[in-house]
């Protein structure tokens, strides 16, 4: 599918674009408004679809101060589980809702067939693309050999099909005890052969120093980055993240490490939190806060209202300089039965759950962390020479951006406007009232 049919041959000038100054590399002519972090500027798009100089006489559009963001980078999703909640049902909140969701999801594995997987995974990537996502990292349940995994075969085809539209990375997700297996080194070699990342789910109290050290040594030998699901609980005793930081210090692991969830930090004492965040900062760990699945699963208990929110200590991480960002995680599955891979919706939830109202102060670091944690280096900036991958909103400040649904947003990829989503409802009405 071409996405450049409407691209003016000489390029385009977007006047009066309001952009976070922290995301506009060297382009902003004026000073940013100190309270919002936004700067009003012209974005030039060259004939090659990159940010730069358009030809003389190229059309100019005045955005009159509307917000423009770089295309979204979504660092943590589960395409293999997406849109299965009508099959799995909901966790009831009897005991750990997370472990209930794991059980429901595992019972659905026989339904993940050669026919089913590509259909749902394609739907997820297409939805993300239409919402303005340019790069996405998905976990893929990989209990058995990665090289023989149907999910990985389907993902490999998906990644090739979407190249140039949504850059895709795959994470081979398995439980931490796999690191004990004699075949773990071979498993890591297979993941490297698939250009994947090793993904580790750490159930409560399952981490040990020996297991983590073995994991990091094998990952280093195979040249793999590591991506964790860790401390996805409000139990203050959960110590997976601290053990990861300690293991990095012991092994000297130098690959990228991304830690998802880290909810338990919100239950720690001030002294424990201070100690752990110090170690996380020293180890260079990136944190992915996942507001939707945390809001749904944490503090879920049948018959009573939730009290705690579940999201990790983003505010304290920001003040310690720890790189932290947000991601979709689960979409319409047993872990989160709502959503549709819309990163604006994720940001909106994060701001409201985490009291992160000063968006202009952290949005640059948020994009920066999602790029640095994954290595999607070509994305996430409005910079001279970068692909003109932009999302335009009918909003002139953060309040409007985070209050309205923005289903009318305009997604520009390599300078050209994506086709709007199909609307069966609109088609129906136009037929009825024609």
Return the active site residues: 232
Which tokens go with 38? 């936004």
Q: C-beta of 199: minimal distance to Zn ion in Å?
A: 9
Q: Which is nearer to Zn ion, 263 or 356 (CB)?
A: 263
69 sits in which H/E element: strand 60-70
Restricted to residues 93-122, the positions that interact with Zn ion (CB under 5 A) are: none
Is 80 near Zn ion (CB under 5 A)? no
What are residue 138's DSSP bridge partners?
A: 77, 170
Asked if 346 and 128 touch (Cβ cutoff 8 Å), the reply is no
Q: Which is nearer to Zn ion, 337 or 360 (CB)?
A: 337
Restricted to residues 308-367, the positions that interact with Zn ion (CB under 5 A) are: 329
> Among all residues, whose Cβ is closest to Zn ion?
329
Asked if 424 and 430 touch (Cβ cutoff 8 Å), the reply is no
Phi-psi map region of 60: left, alpha, beta (phi>0 left; psi -120 to 50 alpha): beta
Q: φ and ψ at 125, to 5 degrees?
A: -65, -40
Q: Which is nearer to Zn ion, 231 or 329 (CB)?
A: 329
Residue 53 burial by CB count (10 A; 0-12/13-18/19+): exposed, middle or buried?
Answer: middle
Q: C-beta of 407: minimal distance to Zn ion in Å?
A: 26
How far is 357 from 377, CA to CA, in rounded Å? Answer: 27
Asked if 266 and 311 touch (Cβ cutoff 8 Å), the reply is yes
Interface size with Zn ion, residues (CB under 5 A): 1
Q: C-beta of 344: minimal distance to Zn ion in Å?
A: 20
Q: C-beta of 77: minimal distance to Zn ion in Å?
A: 8
DSSP string covering 35-91, please?
Answer: TT-EEEEEEEE-TTSBBSPPPTT--EEEEEEEEEEEPEEEEEE-TTTTT-HHHH---
Asked if 251 and 215 touch (Cβ cutoff 8 Å), the reply is no
Q: C-beta of 336: minimal distance to Zn ion in Å?
A: 9
Asked if 108 and 84 touch (Cβ cutoff 8 Å), the reply is yes
Q: C-beta of 78: minimal distance to Zn ion in Å?
A: 6
Q: Which is nearer to Zn ion, 146 or 360 (CB)?
A: 146
Q: C-beta of 270: minimal distance to Zn ion in Å?
A: 28
Q: Which is nearer to Zn ion, 229 or 309 (CB)?
A: 229
How far is 280 from 324, CA to CA, in rounded Å? Answer: 11
How far is 358 from 397, CA to CA, in rounded Å? Answer: 12
Are β-strands 12-20 and 60-70 bridged in parallel, bridged antiparallel, or unpaired? parallel
Residue 82 burial by CB count (10 A; 0-12/13-18/19+): exposed, middle or buried?
Answer: buried
Residue count of the chain, please give it: 434
How far is 322 from 274, CA to CA, in rounded Å? Answer: 12
Q: C-beta of 288: minimal distance to Zn ion in Å?
A: 8
Q: C-beta of 81: minimal distance to Zn ion in Å?
A: 9
Q: Which is nearer to Zn ion, 37 or 339 (CB)?
A: 339
How far is 325 from 389, CA to CA, in rounded Å? Answer: 20
* Residue 213 CB partners (closer than 8 Å, separation 6+): 247, 250, 251
Phi-psi map region of 291: left, alpha, beta (phi>0 left; psi -120 to 50 alpha): alpha
How far is 173 from 167, CA to CA, in rounded Å? Answer: 19
The DSSP code for 51 is: B
Q: Which is nearer to Zn ion, 45 or 215 (CB)?
A: 215
Q: Which is nearer to Zn ion, 327 or 347 (CB)?
A: 327
Q: Which is nearer to Zn ion, 347 or 416 (CB)?
A: 347
Binding positions for Zn ion, rule: CB under 5 A: 329
């Amino acid at each position: 599918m071409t996405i450049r049919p409407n691209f003016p041959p000489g390029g385009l000038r977007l006047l009066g674009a309001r952009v976070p100054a922290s995301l506009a590399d060297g382009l902003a002519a004026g000073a940013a408004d100190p309270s919002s972090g936004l700067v009003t500027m012209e974005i030039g798009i060259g004939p090659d679809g990159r940010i730069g100089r358009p030809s003389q006489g190229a059309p100019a559009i005045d955005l009159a101060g509307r917000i423009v963001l770089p295309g979204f980078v979504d660092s943590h999703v589960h395409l293999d589980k997406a849109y299965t909640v009508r099959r799995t049902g909901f966790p009831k909140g009897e005991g750990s809702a997370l472990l209930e969701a794991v059980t429901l999801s595992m019972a659905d594995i026989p339904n993940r067939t050669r026919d089913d997987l590509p259909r749902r995974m394609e739907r997820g990537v297409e939805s993300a693309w239409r919402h303005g996502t340019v790069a996405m990292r998905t976990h893929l349940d990989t209990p058995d050999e990665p090289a023989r995994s149907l999910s990985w075969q389907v993902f490999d085809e998906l990644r090739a099909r979407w190249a140039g539209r949504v850059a895709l990375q795959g994470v081979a997700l398995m439980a931490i005890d796999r690191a004990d297996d004699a075949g773990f080194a071979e498993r890591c070699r297979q993941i490297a052969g698939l250009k994947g990342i090793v993904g580790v789910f750490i159930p409560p109290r399952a981490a040990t120093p020996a297991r983590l050290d073995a994991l990091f040594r094998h990952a280093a030998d195979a040249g793999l980055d590591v991506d964790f699901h860790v401390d996805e609980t409000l139990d203050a005793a959960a110590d997976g993240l601290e053990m990861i930081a300690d293991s990095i210090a012991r092994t000297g692991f130098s690959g990228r490490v991304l830690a998802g969830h880290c909810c338990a930090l919100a239950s720690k004492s001030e002294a424990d939190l201070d100690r752990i965040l110090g170690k996380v900062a020293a180890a260079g760990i990136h944190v992915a806060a996942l507001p939707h699945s945390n809001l749904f699963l944490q503090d879920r208990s049948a018959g009573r209202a939730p009290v705690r929110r579940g999201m990790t200590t983003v505010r304290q991480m920001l003040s310690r300089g720890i790189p932290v960002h947000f991601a979709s995680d689960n979409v319409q599955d047993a872990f989160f039965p709502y959503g549709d891979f819309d990163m604006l919706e994720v940001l909106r939830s994060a701001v409201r759950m985490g009291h992160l109202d000063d968006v202009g102060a952290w949005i640059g670091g948020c994009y920066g962390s999602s790029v640095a944690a994954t290595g999607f280096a070509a994305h996430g900036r409005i910079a001279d020479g970068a692909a003109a991958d932009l999302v335009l909103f009918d909003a002139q400040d953060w309040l409007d951006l985070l209050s309205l649904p923005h289903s009318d947003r305009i997604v520009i990829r390599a300078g050209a406007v994506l086709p709007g989503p199909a609307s069966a409802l609109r088609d129906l009405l136009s037929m009825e009232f024609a």
